[in-house]
Structure 1
Amino acid sequence: MSRVDPVFAAVTAPGTPFEIGEREGLRTFVNAPSDLNELIESARRFGERTFIVDFDGPQGERRLSYAEVFAWRDRLACHLGIARGDRVAICMRNRAEWIVAFLAVIRAGGIAAMLNSRGSAAELVAMIDDVTPALVIADSERAALIREGGYRGRLLDQTEPLEDTDALPDDNARAAPHDPCAILFTSGTTGRVKGAVLSHRSLITGLLGTQLTGTMVLHNMAQQYGIAVDTMMQQVPPQAILLVSPLFHISGLGSGFLAPMLSGGKVVIMRRWDAEEAVGLIAREKVTQLSTVPTMLWDMVHKAHLTEADLSSLRNIGSGGQALPLNLLEETRKLCPHAVIGVGYGMTETSGAIAQAVGEDFLRARASAGRVLPLVDLRVVHADGSECGANESGEIMVRSAMVMNGYWNRPEDTAKALTPDGWLHTGDIGYQDQDGYIFIVDRAKDMVISGGENIYCAEVERVLCELPEITECATFGVPDERLGERLVAVVQADGLDEGAVIDWVADRLARYKAPARVVFSARPLPRNAAQKIDKIALRALWPQLASED
């Protein structure tokens, strides 16, 4: 997607919705609004078209039109009682109420702080204490958990019926582009969660960038088949996406909810991942788009083969979170021959994908994480800050209007992550080839990606070290065919068994962060020259340790 590509030049030309210009030294969409709510309001035009399909209402299945969701959003906004710029924490699993809560907070001028609904009571209250919200909106289960954790502030159970109230007063004030819009929590190498502050500009740029990518794919397909773009659009089936990513993740918020909404798509919400349910929903709801991680894609492929499911409606399959194994790619192509397959690379701090490759662009470099998107500057640097050449590995750094403002209430962490001139340290090690493809080779952050979920070793080790019987410990990832990686732990301890250690972590963090295996070492753990535990040596020793234990 080079800036000299004729398709790119056409769809971003002056006067088009995707016209690109430069502001404050960054490329931006010059016709974009400054306030996310203005972009959201544009979706009212879809009226009676189905917006949300959910299976968790009082009577079971719910089908809500755009008109119904906007009416519900407006009623809820009246109940929030917040001022512009107030923070509102949202803590629910994926459901229609989550979507309505986010829309209402943005409508009322608030900042949506999205909590990991899979967290323990202590984790949830720690996040709430960090952002000191004017209000917490939760479902019944999470509301009880938050109260159990000791929170005594304002809390609205969104699963309870709303009382009638006066209409929401007109608010003529608009957010400025740099005003905070959302806070998404991401763990750090210190083991403490941090709130990445995304501005209205960063989220809007990310959303419009997603739409631009889709528009370019459409134009390229029309060109490939030698037909007019308008004709191609008439032949494209109505967009329907299966929402499987948590809404508190940037992937769920952006590509799973907001991007489809702005295009008039249907969002089919899964309460929890179940491959059999997924293939059934794809066939029944004529799902056209699926954004997922390799673990779930493997599950779905296996289930579809067993049940002879009809997945012919799928037209777009995106994978992220970890590399797409080539054998999985081939199986997916056999099962969904008409689907365009792509990969993306991004992070919470960049409001979504900063590199992407779709269709033929992806197939030309299947091991890559995509090519840098048009509104992103990227460089790969050595430890001393000097730039790497093509195919030379170093830390990936990015600068874009999509980049976060910083970490909430953490100026030191912000200063480490962002340079004074706006370059973000991604913490990922990779290289860029001569064609612009990005390849991720390692992570500078001590993090494991298991089933698409980020598990930070420092966070788990901090909890393990709170167990009195443990003398020292280390966690790291080992390869797993289905999950990509599994978190494992090596500990020195007396009077404990594996189950007790796993339960200790699971009771204090989200359960998926608990080690899948724990082995006990009778000897001190290996250390490097700096006297830090040598995880490279531990990984090499893992097969021996696991067999001896």
Structure 2
Amino acid sequence: MTSSDLIFDKVTGPGSPFEIGERDGMRQFVNAPSDLNQMIERTRAFGDRPMIVEGDLRLSYADVFVRRDALAAALGIEKGDRVGLCMKNSAAWMIGFLAILARGGVAVAVNSRGAPNELAAMLDDVGAAIVLADSDRARRLREGGYAGRIIEAQEFPSDGTMALDPVSPAQADDAAAILFTSGTTGRVKGAVLSHKNLIHGIMLMQLSGVMILHGMAEKFGTDVETLRANLPQAAVLQVYPLFHISGLGSAFLSPMLAGSKIVVMHHWDPEEALRLIAAERVTMFTGVPTMLWDILNKAHLESADLSSLTNIGTGGQALPVNLLDAIRSACPQAFMGTGYGLTETSGSVAQAVGEDFIRNRTAAGRVLSLVDMKIDAPEGQAGEIMVRGPMVMKGYWNRPEETAAVLSADGWFRTGDIGMVDDEGYIFIVDRKKDMVISGGENIYCAEVERIMGAMDGVAECAAFGIPDERLGELLVAFVVGSGVTEQEIIQEVGEKLARYKAPGHVRFVSEPLPRNAVGKVDKIKLRAMWPDLAGV
């Protein structure tokens, strides 16, 4: 049994906030509240502690609650009403979310980067009673034909003049939020997340933090309470969009419930990120590999101050080994971590931090304690990952057929990801089910190929995908951002490490970062469109 297993047994024992028991046929946190707003209300106790930093705007927890209460009183909604959130990352977005839940509403987090007709269609689809928007998105909504009520962020009340009538607590299965899937395959769908779903997703993140704290106390030879009392306030750099589960859960709600400071970035800029990390003493940074490379490259050039960082992570798949080694070299004081989750699972399926992460660096995490998992394939083979647990969504809004296609009557959710799980519970993501290339009758998982390419010296970023081929049906090709490595070297490396038929037929180098969608995933639709102009074959 590892040290982390012993810590887990200790912090999830009887009577603890994270005590685990069985309800409704699945493991749950038995002491969890039924209403997310009840957890939020507890953070009033943080008072004058800094909560949100956005440019020149600095708000304490007390400031945020004054604004939240004032906005909640002005919404004029009924319990269960859907309320749209259509803004860039901002204090206003977060205050809007809190106000919606305070009135018993359902927060509908739309992709604020969408085109006018897309934004209007999402809100019309859910029958939004009202929309909270910044001025730019309000204009886009009107351009897209949205005719409903909009309150613009600059109109939010900043102090309370209206009494906030009490609202009866939500039931665990009541809807709390609707988050839209990225839409890279098929039409956009709104995943309905209940209070129970979000609470358990957040508590799983909190459990990870508590385990890190116990691990630090063990390392420094002290007790947890002494360590907690002497640590500075945690601060997270919010770079993921708030309309995505990573932004909502790990960069907003989880830090807020822990009394942390949230430092907002409107768009990714590595120089600004380094300035904020140093100026605000940011302790937690989580981003996609491109962001991590940007940070490291700028840090080396400018001798940036990364000394405050104690937690660095990414999610979705294992970090390229060369990137992991570079981060550990630049930030030896930081705990490393990775995680795997989906919008439909409230962001939580697997996670590994500290010792757990370093022990198996090629994994996407260890299956979390409340997650039932099975692989839809013969034992020992990769197959579609299926999960069940209290964090799995209620379904897709107004999409019964699409819900039934992925969510069984007894709660098993088909993730669409292909992977394997070892005897210790480490999960290895091979690829997206719909991103597999069939070339010459052979199945090639793009993520497997990308893992090999990404570990090569000189490769900063890479993506593999299929293009039509008369002879093979599909031909695997790749784009690479990097230097000091050749096409032939990449083809040879993949062929030797995997199999000859899995090596890309062509590799093309680009100088700009690969295009990504709103939630940070490489946009392979755009890459396929780019290929004919850049391939030269």
Q: Shift of residue 248 of structure 1?
A: 0.3
The runs of 5 or more residues in structure 2 that have no matched partner are: 437-445, 451-462, 466-473, 483-516
Indicate the residue corresponding to 1:466 in structure 2.
Answer: none
Indicate the residue corresponding to 1:416 in structure 2.
Answer: 405
Q: Shift of residue 394 of structure 1?
A: 0.9
Moved more, 422-431 or 28-37: 28-37
Between the two proteins, the alignment pairs up a number of residues equal to 472
Indicate the residue corresponding to 2:16 in structure 1.
Answer: 16
Indicate the residue corresponding to 1:351 in structure 2.
Answer: 346
Any conservation in 2 of the 1:136–1:154 contact (CA below 8 Å)? yes
Output the amino acid matched with 2:152.
Answer: D
Correspondences of 1:431-510 after superposition (within 5 Å): 431-446=420-435, 478-481=478-481
**Residues 310-338 of structure 1, C-alpha deviation per residue, up to 9 Å, x if partnerless?**
10100000111443111111111111110
Indicate the residue corresponding to 1:402 in structure 2.
Answer: 391
Output the amino acid matched with 1:299.
Answer: D
Alignment pair present for 1:381 and 2:381 = no
Q: Shift of residue 134 of structure 1?
A: 0.2
The runs of 5 or more residues in structure 1 that have no matched partner are: 56-60, 383-387, 458-473, 483-505, 522-541
> Any idea what SS the aligned residue of 2:312 has?
strand
Correspondences of 1:288-299 after superposition (within 5 Å): 288-299=283-294
Q: Distance in 1 between matches of 2:114 and 2:475?
A: 20
RMSD: 3.0
Q: Distance in 1 between matches of 2:4 and 2:315?
A: 27
- Seen in structure 2, the aligned counterparts of structure 1 residues 116 and 517 have a Cα distance that, compared at 3 Å, is same
Output the amino acid matched with 1:19.
Answer: E
Identical columns (%): 56
- Seen in structure 2, the aligned counterparts of structure 1 residues 412 and 252 have a Cα distance that, compared at 3 Å, is same
Output the amino acid matched with 1:422.
Answer: G
**Residues 270-298 of structure 1, C-alpha deviation per residue, up to 9 Å, x if partnerless?**
11100000011101110000111111111
Q: Distance in 2 between matches of 1:261 and 1:476?
A: 44
Q: Distance in 1 between matches of 2:354 and 2:4?
A: 20
Any conservation in 2 of the 1:2–1:8 contact (CA below 8 Å)? no
Indicate the residue corresponding to 1:370 in structure 2.
Answer: 365
Output the amino acid matched with 2:73.
Answer: C
Indicate the residue corresponding to 2:35 in structure 1.
Answer: 35
Q: Shift of residue 166 of structure 1?
A: 4.9
- Seen in structure 2, the aligned counterparts of structure 1 residues 93 and 185 have a Cα distance that, compared at 3 Å, is same
Indicate the residue corresponding to 1:48 in structure 2.
Answer: 48
Q: Shift of residue 80 of structure 1?
A: 0.8
Alignment pair present for 1:83 and 2:78 = yes
Any conservation in 2 of the 1:79–1:165 contact (CA below 8 Å)? no
Q: Shift of residue 135 of structure 1?
A: 0.3
From 89, 105, 116, the counterpart of 1:110:
105
**TM-score for both structures, normalised by structure 2:** 0.82
Any conservation in 2 of the 1:3–1:374 contact (CA below 8 Å)? no
- Seen in structure 2, the aligned counterparts of structure 1 residues 32 and 373 have a Cα distance that, compared at 3 Å, is same
Indicate the residue corresponding to 1:26 in structure 2.
Answer: 26
> Any idea what SS the aligned residue of 1:129 has?
helix
Q: Shift of residue 477 of structure 1?
A: 8.2
Alignment pair present for 1:428 and 2:428 = no
Moved more, 9-18 or 142-151: 9-18
Output the amino acid matched with 1:7.
Answer: I
Any conservation in 2 of the 1:2–1:374 contact (CA below 8 Å)? no
**Residues 444-478 of structure 1, C-alpha deviation per residue, up to 9 Å, x if partnerless?**
0349999xxxx9x9xxxxxxxxxxxxxxxx99984
**TM-score for both structures, normalised by structure 1:** 0.81
Alignment pair present for 1:275 and 2:233 = no
Q: Distance in 1 between matches of 2:47 and 2:193?
A: 29
Q: Shift of residue 94 of structure 1?
A: 0.4
Indicate the residue corresponding to 1:120 in structure 2.
Answer: 115
Output the amino acid matched with 1:421.
Answer: D
Q: Shift of residue 129 of structure 1?
A: 1.4
**Residues 479-523 of structure 1, C-alpha deviation per residue, up to 9 Å, x if partnerless?**
4347xxxxxxxxxxxxxxxxxxxxxxx9xxx997872563687xx
Output the amino acid matched with 1:418.
Answer: L
